[in-house]
Amino acid sequence: MSGAVAVLVINLVVAGLLSASFAMVAAYDRKQVAASWLAFAYGLGAVYYSIEFGISTIGAPRPAVVVSFAVVLAAMLLFNVGVARKFEVPVPWRLLSIVFVISTVACDIIQDMPRESFTRMMIYQTPYFVMQALGAWILWSARSRRWLDTILMWLLAASSLQFLSKPFLSYSLGGTGATPQHYLQTQYALISQSMGTIFAVAIALLFLVILARDVIADVTKLSNTDALSGLLNRGGFERHATAVLQAERHKGRSLALVICDLDHFKAINDTFGHASGDKVIKTFAGFLRTIAVGEYFAGRIGGEEFAIILPGSNLVAGRLFAETARSAFSGLPVDGLPEDLRFTASFGVAELVSGEDLSELLSRADKALYEAKENGRDCVRTALPTFDGMRAFRSF
């Protein structure tokens, strides 16, 4: 077995394994639509290597050569569709189709040219260059890219250039062989197949890492998110709040915490049922999302209890935020409940003081909330540290 044949067999196995890997990602997470396209792309890649192996052993009728070319070009087309789906770029179907059709026709025409012709080689390799370059261009068009995405973009660009280098490589290494059967015996075949393997595997592995990164991010987000409200759950809120607290302290900025609780929530459940109670929670959570903008973020930290972190805000700003939220929410209807029925919430506000951790800040804000509950509900209380270190509460 020649070195080129060995590389061809390796390529066949690797393409099949990569296709299976992307298929597994697609089966695990249905949102990763790109993985399905890449599974098909690398599956076609395995078909291409099978055809190439057949051509090299049993001969090369003209249709087989054209089909081989079309299969690998189709695999690259599907890869580009996967890139577009992953990075939310409109798929340039028309452009991809035009390149595919014109290139396949050109491949058929050049079969009448001498195999060692430099022009023939350039016409044969240029479509691969164009199709791979289109993948890099699609990534370039993405609205946002992270550093791994940028590396993938440049890797695709480098891979496209290696196709243009092959006519020169063939010329310097003595050509592609007098016949397709002789191709795999040439040094050019060994180097060309090896280059293709290196780029194909590198691109696929990097794409798998990117998909894994996003799957892990989604799982992490789900673990930090409350299913009913869509806000951060208590654990997610505390982790996020702790990081923000440390950052704000390092910057020397103030920070306020608002805790709020839906009034008479048990009565809502008892009167209208738990499904209606869930609707009230969803309505309040949606309301908090609309007002907790910028650096602010909210979480559901208990049954009907919520918290909002206000980076860069002092106690006065926190009180104004709470008063605005209290007033606005009391005027909101809840879908599925009587239109004239309104709900209220009570609020406790505290500002971070020197040497205080998140649990202490939460405790002070919670005590202020308790004072609001004890003083008639539907109001705001703020927690102020006194000079002797005791906590005091002020109503507004």
Residue 393 has pLDDT above 70, yes or no: no
Start-to-end CA span in the chain (Å): 87
Where along the chain do its domains lie?
Answer: 3-223, 234-395
For the stretch 29-45, pLDDT in tens is: 888 889 999 999 999 98
Q: Which has the minimum average pLDDT: 38-42, 86-90, 164-168, 318-322? A: 164-168
pLDDT band at 174 (very low <50, low <70, confident <90, very high): low
Considering the candidates 238, 248, 304, 351, report the single residue annotated as catalytic: 304
Residue 287 has pLDDT above 80, yes or no: yes
Give residue for tokens 């509460």: 393
Residue 221 has pLDDT above 80, yes or no: no
Residue 389 has pLDDT above 50, yes or no: no
| Domain 234-395 top-level CATH class | alpha beta
Q: Name the percent of the chain lying above pLDDT 70.
A: 89
d(CA 271, CA 101): 67
Token representation of residue 68: 């081989």
Q: Name, of 8-12, 184-188, 222-226, 357-361, the range with top average pLDDT.
A: 357-361
User: Can you say whether residue 355 is alpha, beta or left, with left for phi > 0 and alpha for psi between -120 and 50 degrees?
Assistant: left
Residue 153 has pLDDT above 50, yes or no: yes
pLDDT confidence of residue 28: 85
**What pTM was estimated for this model as a whole?**
0.68
For the stretch 362-379, pLDDT in tens is: 999 999 999 999 988 999
Residue 200 has pLDDT above 50, yes or no: yes
Q: Which has the minimum average pLDDT: 75-89, 231-245, 327-341, 354-368? A: 327-341
The question of whether 52 is a catalytic residue gets the answer no
CATH topology of domain 3-223: Rhopdopsin 7-helix transmembrane proteins (1.20.1070)
CB burial of residue 293 (10 Å; 0-12, 13-18, 19+) = exposed
Residue 291 has pLDDT above 50, yes or no: yes
pLDDT confidence of residue 338: 84
- Average pLDDT over the chain, rounded to whole? 87
d(CA 42, CA 40): 6
Residue 2 has pLDDT above 60, yes or no: no
pLDDT band at 388 (very low <50, low <70, confident <90, very high): very low
Cα 46–Cα 50–Cα 54 angle in degrees, nearest 5: 170
pLDDT confidence of residue 9: 73
pLDDT confidence of residue 68: 86
Residue 308 has pLDDT above 80, yes or no: yes
DSSP state string for 83-120: HHHHTT----HHHHHHHHHHHHHHHHHGGGS-TT-HHH
Starting at the edge strand that comes first in sequence, how are the strands of the sheet with 297-300 ordered?
Answer: 297-300, 305-311, 255-262, 345-351, 380-385, 391-395
Residue 304: how many CA atoms within 13 Å on its side-chain side? 23
Q: Give the mean pLDDT of 207-235.
A: 87
What backbone phi and psi angles, to 5 degrees, belong to 313? Answer: -110, 145
pLDDT confidence of residue 127: 95
For the stretch 293-305, pLDDT in tens is: 889 999 999 999 9
Q: Which has the minimum average pLDDT: 7-16, 188-197, 381-390? A: 381-390
d(CA 19, CA 135): 18
Q: Give the mean pLDDT of 15-36.
A: 88
